Amino acid sequence: MQIAFTKSALPKTGAVVIPVFEDDDSALKAVDEAAGGALAKAAAAEFKAKKNQTLDIIAPRGLDNSRVILIGAGKSKAFKPLDAESLGGTAAARLLSTREKSASIWLQGFDAPGVGADEVAARIAFGALLRSYRFDKYRTKLEKDQKPALTRISIHTASTKAKTLFADLQKIADGVFLTRDLVSEPPNVLYPESFAARCKELEALGVKVTVLGVKEMTKLGMGSLLGVGQGSAKEPKLVAMEWMGGKKGDAPVAFVGKGVTFDTGGISLKPGPGMEDMKWDMGGAGAVTGAIAALAGRKAKANVVGVIGLVENMPDGAAQRPGDITTSMSGQTIEILNTDAEGRLVLADAIWWTQETYKPKAVVDLATLTGAILISLAHEYAGLFTQDDALASELAHAGAATGDRVWRMPLDKAHYEMIKSDVADMKNIGGKEGGSSTAAAFIGKFVKEGQAWAHLDIAGMAWSKKDAPTCPKGGTGYGVRLLDEWVRANYEG
């Protein structure tokens, strides 16, 4: 999607989008003068300008425009940057369902008291861009009229700075789209080696990418991660992506992602129906990769490293068994009681290696870790587990600012107690109760004393079965914006 900002008058032809507040319809009035009041007449009956309400007026009388789409913006005083994104996304969705090739969004006279005109324009553009994402790679028989026609949106605004603001947002969208692509790829195409190859492409942005294979990981003693992958024909990989845009020599912050490219459950096999969903069990690794792409793309002034553990969890003659005891890189031993609790085993070694290699200021891990978090938080929030109140509050702020929302969940001594084993240093599952917290505690066993760390369980967030204003159904790219904003607010400048 091409997006341009312009000060020019509204085009006399083509499609036009006009946002309207419940309590202020100045933007609409200005255009409606030329239409001799036809728009107000069309709107009168049903259009209340409620948030994201749309009214598509085709060939309005008195104008040569093909259509005028009114979009509700709610109450002007309550209008926030995220509302601007939703509005842009809603406009794009409406336009994408038509055969219009280009459209203009009219923002002259659309003034929100609480948000600057630059930000309103840039965020509307950002929302429209985010909503225009498609993953059509494997749909080879789409008819021309099944593909969207819209390729260009012009934002008509008096703002001079919107374009600059949008330039950074566009890089963030690149990161979100990379994550959505990775999460959407089928598991026969995206497996550890091919995922690592996609990471290598970030070198073009100035990212240093290191890939460890089985040989290196065996040497390092990563028995926990390797145990998960040993039933697969695909070789596990560990990828480190370094973006060092900050002060030379400053310790980086680290993101660590669970990258299970397919999770069958292993010998503790999952039920068949719905198993295809487990192609996106690499959503944490996808988010980490997309976040590094966003940060590097916009040349963030911070040192950040993204580490992802990539494995496929398969049942096989060589697969790990319930009852096995593995030794992690940290030296701690693990009794495997359920081979389907594999994500934590991958993170254990990835997190340990990250601390040993980078001595990071803070570690945030992301993982589609437990079904239990869906029971707690549905698809509304990622679960946030940490004993660090400052870090919790930073992440909560970043979540609220970006819409990648997090909700703090408990993690304390009791949860650590629940994963004690009779035969090893710990077991890889607690009971059926508090499953997300015991999973977090398991990861916590691999976090060094004094290390700032938070864990995000994103099992409910990586994929969506329905459209949202700024995200078509499918891979959401959750986490990219959260991590980017967390770095921007706390580690840049």
Residues acting as catalytic residues: 270, 344
- Give the one residue of 263, 365, 394, 485 binding ligand BES; rule: CB under 6 A: 263
Integer Cα distance of 176 and 289 in angstroms: 9
- Assess 342 for contact with ligand BES (CB under 6 A): yes
Integer Cα distance of 493 and 488 in angstroms: 8
The DSSP bridge partners found for residue 367 are: 457
Q: How many residues bind Mn ion (CB under 5 A)?
A: 3
Site string (315-354) toward Zn ion, x via CB under 5 A: ----------------------------x-----------
Residues 127, 469: contact at Cβ < 8 Å?
Answer: yes
Q: Can you say whether the dihedral through the CA atoms of 139, 143, 144, 145 is positive or negative?
A: negative
State which of positions 258-277 bind Zn ion (CB under 5 A): 260, 263
Q: Which two tokens mark 235?
A: 């070789």
Cα Rg of the chain, angstroms? 24
- Assess 281 for contact with Zn ion (CB under 5 A): yes
**Of 74-82, 116-124, 185-193, 339-347: span binding ligand BES (CB under 6 A):** 339-347
Place of tokens 């986490």: 479
- Give the one residue of 185, 340, 365, 404 binding ligand BES; rule: CB under 6 A: 340
Integer Cα distance of 174 and 177 in angstroms: 5
State which of positions 287-326 bind ligand BES (CB under 6 A): none
Q: Which is nearer to Zn ion, 260 or 267 (CB)?
A: 260
State which of positions 371-400 bind ligand BES (CB under 6 A): 371-372
Longest pairwise C-alpha distance within the chain = 82
Q: Which is nearer to Mn ion, 16 or 308 (CB)?
A: 308
Q: Which is nearer to Mn ion, 62 or 371 (CB)?
A: 371
Site string (248-267) toward Mn ion, x via CB under 5 A: ---------------x----
* Amino acid (one-letter) located at 181: D
Q: Which is nearer to Mn ion, 27 or 372 (CB)?
A: 372
Tell me how far, at minimum, the Cβ of 321 lies from Zn ion, in Å.
17
> In this structure, what DSSP letter does residue 273 have?
T
Q: Which is nearer to ligand BES, 394 or 404 (CB)?
A: 404
The residue number whose beta carbon is nearest to Zn ion equals 263
- Give the one residue of 290, 343, 360, 474 binding ligand BES; rule: CB under 6 A: 343
Q: At what angle do helices 283-297 and 162-184 cross, to 10 degrees?
A: 150
**Of 42-50, 150-158, 218-226, 340-348: span binding Mn ion (CB under 5 A):** 340-348
Tell me how far, at minimum, the Cβ of 348 lies from Mn ion, in Å.
14
In angstroms, how far is CA 130 from the centroid of its own chain?
A: 11
Integer Cα distance of 183 and 438 in angstroms: 26
- Give the one residue of 162, 282, 341, 456 binding ligand BES; rule: CB under 6 A: 341
Q: Which two tokens mark 158?
A: 């008096």
Q: Which is nearer to ligand BES, 314 or 341 (CB)?
A: 341
Task: Please tell me whether residue 2 adopts helix, strand or coil conformation.
Answer: strand
Integer Cα distance of 106 and 90 in angstroms: 14
The residue number whose beta carbon is nearest to ligand BES equals 371
394 binds, among Mn ion, ligand BES, Zn ion, none (CB under 5 to 8 A by kind): none
93 binds, among ligand BES, Zn ion, Mn ion, none (CB under 5 to 8 A by kind): none
Integer Cα distance of 112 and 15 in angstroms: 23
* Amino acid (one-letter) located at 151: T
Q: Which is nearer to Mn ion, 335 or 342 (CB)?
A: 342
- Give the one residue of 368, 386, 470, 476 binding ligand BES; rule: CB under 6 A: 368
Task: Please tell me whether residue 259 adopts helix, strand or coil conformation.
Answer: strand
- Assess 327 for contact with ligand BES (CB under 6 A): no
Secondary structure element (H or E) that encloses residue 455, with its range? strand 452-457
Q: Which is nearer to ligand BES, 47 or 463 (CB)?
A: 463
> In this structure, what DSSP letter does residue 450 have?
T
- Assess 457 for contact with Zn ion (CB under 5 A): no
Integer Cα distance of 134 and 142 in angstroms: 13
Tell me how far, at minimum, the Cβ of 285 lies from Mn ion, in Å.
14
Sheet containing strand 325-327, edge to edge, reads: 325-327, 333-335, 426-427
The DSSP bridge partners found for residue 69 are: 17, 56
Q: Which residues of 18-32 are buried (b: 16+ CB within 10 A; e: fewer)?
A: bbbbbebbebbeebb
In angstroms, how far is CA 62 from the centroid of its own chain?
A: 44
State which of positions 419-458 bind ligand BES (CB under 6 A): 429, 435
Pairing, β 253-263 against β 303-313: parallel
- Assess 227 for contact with ligand BES (CB under 6 A): no
Tell me how far, at minimum, the Cβ of 340 lies from Mn ion, in Å.
4
Place of tokens 């099992």: 459
Tell me how far, at minimum, the Cβ of 225 lies from ligand BES, in Å.
14
The DSSP bridge partners found for residue 154 are: 4, 104
- Assess 340 for contact with Mn ion (CB under 5 A): yes
Q: Which is nearer to Zn ion, 10 or 350 (CB)?
A: 350
Among residues 176, 94, 95, which one has the least CA distance to residue 135? 176
- Assess 28 for contact with ligand BES (CB under 6 A): no
Binding residues (CB under 6 A) for ligand BES: these are 263, 281, 338, 340-343, 368-372, 429, 435, 459
**Given the rule CB under 5 A, which residues bind Zn ion?**
260, 263, 281, 343
The footprint of Mn ion (CB under 5 A) covers: 263, 340, 342
